[in-house]
Amino acid sequence: MTPRRAVVLVDGEHYPPVIRAALRSLAEQGTTAVAALFLGGTEKVSQRGADVDLGVPAEWVAPGRGPAPDIAVAAGHLARLLAEHHPDVVVDLSDEPVLDARRRLQLASHVLLAGVRYEGADFVLTPPARPRLTRRPTIAVIGTGKRTGKTAVAGEMARALRTAGRQPVIVAMGRGGPPEPVIVPAGARLDPAALLAVADAGGHAASDFYEDAVTSGAATVGARRCGGGLAGAVGYSNVAAAVLASDDLPGDLLLVEGSGSAVPPVHADATVLVVPADSDPELIRGYLGPYRVLLADLIVVTMCESPRGVGKKPDAVTEALHSISRRSPVLRTVLRPVPLEPVGGDRVFFATTAPATVGASLVNALEERHGCEVVAMSHRLADRPALISDLAAAPPFDVLLVELKAAAVDVAVRSATRAGARVVFCDNRPMIVGAQQATGGATGLQDAVAALTQLADERATAR
């Protein structure tokens, strides 16, 4: 076994001779403790902060509430020890009541962020591999789960970057991505007929990289992934090949888009985290939720409207985010549908993945801002049999307005084409709301993208 250096987490609920014996056992197996951190607990030591001889340098975390430590304080101690000793692994020899499963994984988030392995009695957490594969400044757009608005945010960023004179390339991975990276050049014409041809050839014509290309006009590269780990690692992907392929395209900045809660398995110089307003705060601040928050340089909270963001939900989500880190700006947004072609005066069937609870606000936005009449609507774009039923039951319509997601092409576009209706793709665009709206609105979002891009440029230059 390769010798390893370890920072060891211990507590005062264990009798010191037992801890010393455990450290000797680790050493016999090739893992040498170089420092120990007492997280709390005093039952088997004279007092908190006691000078306990473990045979290695040891220090105590300042008291929390009860035997458990304040995780932020413990993480600060641990970060310093990691920087000082450069261990290969953190070995957790603590236990309840000092660390329960939730707090243990909270602490592990900080260790994984530092690129260090975290081990306990019956588990191993390995930092997700994120190698540098391109010289271009790279920004990752990641989320806390599926349908958070990642693609909407990535598309908005690409448009803002192009307006600012940059030339972004987007690599998007998905669960329906292609077996080999597929390149869509900037400005490529992807009309319904072209995407139907993709579907007829067996491809997923509503994959995120097609949506990114249609809504932003930027060059995109499609990739696939399968599986997702606790810290966002993927079980299988061809993202690395897609990033290498992206280097053959004209561009000066790379956007890499995550899938669900999975994080692109490549290095990023800056990161955007997308969080829905109805997220469970416990899953943000507990378990490995902090890992993604700690990665983020900008956080976009989406769907901050009734009923998903009703009442104090956005406040609770923001509070949970700030309990982990206050270094990253948090923007509150809503998503609004924007047809990519004029629909004024048309009778529209609108197909979306958005829940029925926000249907009224989406219809109002379409009718008031774009002058169409929404005669029917389906929220079941991700449910093929139900979507077919909704289309069959709809009154006559002139235009199928559809998000480029899920069954958009192989079901909705095909059905509308057969019926002789015009097909118009619909984007979802983030709009800042609340106090930030009054002080910036769209400009505030563009400013946030500009600041993030500058950060990515600076970090890439400093590599």
Nearest 5°: the CA angle 426, 430, 432 is 150
Are the beta carbons of 322 and 284 closer than 8 angstroms?
Answer: no
For the chain, the average pLDDT equals 95
93-113 pLDDT tens trace = 999 999 999 999 999 999 999
pLDDT at 310: 58
Quote the percentage of the chain above a pLDDT of 90: 90
The answer to whether residue 435 scores a pLDDT higher than 80 is no
Name beta bridge partners: 427: 338
In the chain, domain spans = 4-125, 138-334+432-461, 337-429
The answer to whether residue 122 scores a pLDDT higher than 90 is yes
The domain made up of 337-429 has a fold known as Rossmann fold (3.40.50)
Look at 45-59, 277-291, 363-377, 403-417 and tell me which has the smallest mean pLDDT.
Answer: 45-59
- The CATH number of the structural domain formed by 138-334+432-461 is 3.40.50.300
Instruction: Output 240 or 43, whichever has higher pLDDT.
Output: 240
The answer to whether residue 406 scores a pLDDT higher than 80 is yes
Quote the percentage of the chain above a pLDDT of 70: 97
The answer to whether residue 257 scores a pLDDT higher than 60 is yes
409-420 pLDDT tens trace = 999 999 999 999
pLDDT at 364: 97
**CA 325 vs CA 83, 116, 151, 187, 348: distances in Å:** 19, 20, 24, 38, 44
The answer to whether residue 392 scores a pLDDT higher than 70 is yes
70-79 pLDDT tens trace = 999 999 999 9
pLDDT band at 439 (very low <50, low <70, confident <90, very high): very low
pLDDT band at 67 (very low <50, low <70, confident <90, very high): confident
pLDDT at 44: 86
Alpha-carbon distance of 376 to 391, in angstroms, equals 9
The answer to whether residue 56 scores a pLDDT higher than 60 is yes
pLDDT at 451: 97
134-193 pLDDT tens trace = 999 999 999 999 999 999 999 999 999 999 999 999 999 999 999 999 999 999 999 999
339-377 pLDDT tens trace = 999 999 999 999 999 999 899 999 999 999 999 999 999
Alpha-carbon distance of 90 to 220, in angstroms, equals 39
| Helix, strand, coil percentages for the chain (3-state, nearest 5) | 35, 25, 40
- The CATH number of the structural domain formed by 4-125 is 3.40.50.2000
| Average pLDDT over every residue of 5-19 | 97
Q: Is omega for the bond preceding 97 within 30 degrees of 0, making it cis?
A: yes
180-192 pLDDT tens trace = 999 999 999 999 9
pLDDT at 443: 61
Are the beta carbons of 333 and 442 closer than 8 angstroms?
Answer: no
Alpha-carbon distance of 372 to 63, in angstroms, equals 62
Are the beta carbons of 274 and 134 closer than 8 angstroms?
Answer: no
pLDDT at 440: 46
Return all residues near 39 (Cβ < 8 A) that are at least 6 apart: 9, 10, 11, 61, 68, 69, 74, 94, 98, 99
| Average pLDDT over every residue of 274-291 | 95
Nearest to 245 by CA among 236, 254, 258, 235: 254
| Average pLDDT over every residue of 417-429 | 97
- Asked, colleague to colleague, whether 4-125 and 337-429 share their fold, the answer is yes
